[in-house]
Structure 1
Amino acid sequence: MTQATHTPDQLAQEFVAFAVQAGVLRFGEFKTKAGRLSPYFFNAGLFDDGAKLGALAKFYAQRLIASGLQFDMIFGPAYKGITLAAALSIELARLGHNKPFAYNRKEAKDHGEGGTLVGAPVQGRVLIIDDVISAGTSVRESIAMIQAAGATPCGVTIALDRQEKAAENGVDLPHSAVQYVTQQLQMPVIAIAGLADLLQYLRSADDSSVKAYADAVQAYRDKYGV
């Protein structure tokens, strides 16, 4: 794969700006799964039309190409990962890197071809795609399915790394979910952007209504960041 034309920082800044403009990245007060009050919310389900999904796929593809990670196919865990895997596969093919993709069903099908995996045969080096990593559960399940198929999970790509401490039973852990995946599961994680990039964007934003959230996001990172 050839090197992307954007530097990582430029790409991250462009992605954050795009996510804000698309209404996918919002500011205010939101309760997270861990019960924290977050000043921002990232909802990848709002990449909900062809133009936005196509643009998102371009960001994933550019980040992956720049990373140099070698993979043979893409795996999208149900449900959000299904759309992301298909979109990334289309964009990579457009760039001359035709990669097959597969995904899983939540429940095994007992008729027709049966099983829980759909799409291309799961084989070789498999890249897992998702929007974020909240607890690492989806990644662990994906790794198990890929290995059960006789293939090798080789990495995870996500849109946004929240760069905050994971929580378990209401207790903050010393590592983030992404760090857990990289350190404990020995799996590289390639994110389009992270919380640090979001902060950089907020501090340099021309829109004062957006820039006003910089201090709140910084305070959140000071409290929960890794």
Structure 2
Amino acid sequence: MSDHRTRFLQLALHAEALRFGEFTLKSGRTSPYFFNAGRFDSGQALATLAACYADAIEAAGAQFDLLFGPAYKGIPLAAALACEYARRGRDLPLAFNRKEAKTHGEGGTLIGAPLAGRRVLIVDDVITAGTAIREALALIRDGGGTPAAIAIALDRQERVSEQDDRSAAQTVAAEQQVPVIAIATLSDLLAFAGETTTLAGERDRLLAYRARYGSRVSS
């Protein structure tokens, strides 16, 4: 497993962004693990997370000119990543959106750098149903930008439904013709659990969950 995946999973455990137990998801499925990027709630945690994003994006070879954070969790993630790139010597423009358009002041839905003519990297935590990402893609295209890639923290690699064996990330990537880059996946988590003594007891439950709900389409 590459270093950014290991560092991310270690960070997620330390920050309790990744927890194990019994969790009911929006889909109604009962999951043996839960990921909440909102628990990366300190400057150091966000800085370490941003470095993991940057390494994953670099490994994927994505080409982009601007960072975009979908409201709400994507906003601090994109901002932290912009700071990480600045630390590495690349000063990137940053934009994000409001959930509701502002009718006074500068108005509108978009905030930050203009999108027109730029290749845009979307930064978010996960893709669940894909609704927020599709809205972001529409905003970017309407603003004259070109979606270059979508970077997420964790890909759960779950199939969308009993009728669709693709994961939500695969579905969005295929529909929108935009690649999805994940720092880590469920497969990485399984490998990590197999190498980490304290998580050895969780691996069988993770395997059973993947067998029942995992995507059956290779990425």
* TM-score band, normalised by shorter chain: over 0.9
- 1:33/1:102 CA distance change after superposition, 3 Å: same
Query: Which aligned runs of 4 or more in structure 1 are off by greater than 3 angstroms?
Result: none
Aligned CA-pair RMSD: 1.1
Matches within 5 A, 1:153-172: 153-167=147-161
Q: Does 1:224 align with 2:207?
A: no
Q: Does 1:200 align with 2:183?
A: no
> For 1:157-206, what per-residue CA distance to the aligned partner results, in whole angstroms no more than 9, with x for missing partners?
00000001114xxx552211011012121110010000000001111112
Amino acid at match of 1:196: S
CA distance in 2, matches of 1:78, 1:97: 24
Q: Does 1:138 align with 2:129?
A: no
Matches within 5 A, 1:69-88: 69-88=62-81
Q: Equivalent of 2:122, from 124, 128, 131? A: 128
**Cα pair 1:9 1:197 within 8 Å, conserved:** no
CA distance in 2, matches of 1:152, 1:74: 12
Matches within 5 A, 1:46-65: 46-65=39-58
CA distance in 2, matches of 1:31, 1:165: 16
How high is the sequence identity, in percent, across the aligned residues? 53
Secondary structure of the equivalent of 2:110? strand
Please identify, of 14-23 and 137-146, the stretch whose mean Cα deviation from structure 2 is larger: 14-23
Q: Does 1:29 align with 2:22?
A: yes
Structure 2's unaligned 5+ residue stretches are none
CA distance in 1, matches of 2:100, 2:169: 27
CA distance in 2, matches of 1:71, 1:137: 23
Structure 1's unaligned 5+ residue stretches are 1-7
Instruction: Give 1:130 shift.
Output: 0.4
CA distance in 1, matches of 2:202, 2:174: 32
CA distance in 1, matches of 2:15, 2:77: 16
**Structure 2 length normalisation: TM-score?**
0.95
**Structure 1 length normalisation: TM-score?**
0.92
> For 1:119-174, what per-residue CA distance to the aligned partner results, in whole angstroms no more than 9, with x for missing partners?
1111310011100000111111011100111111111000000001114xxx5522
Instruction: Give 1:10 shift.
Output: 2.7
**Cα pair 1:17 1:201 within 8 Å, conserved:** no
CA distance in 1, matches of 2:102, 2:4: 40
Amino acid at match of 2:36: N
Q: How many residues align?
A: 214
> For 1:49-85, what per-residue CA distance to the aligned partner results, in whole angstroms no more than 9, with x for missing partners?
1111111111001111222111000111100011111
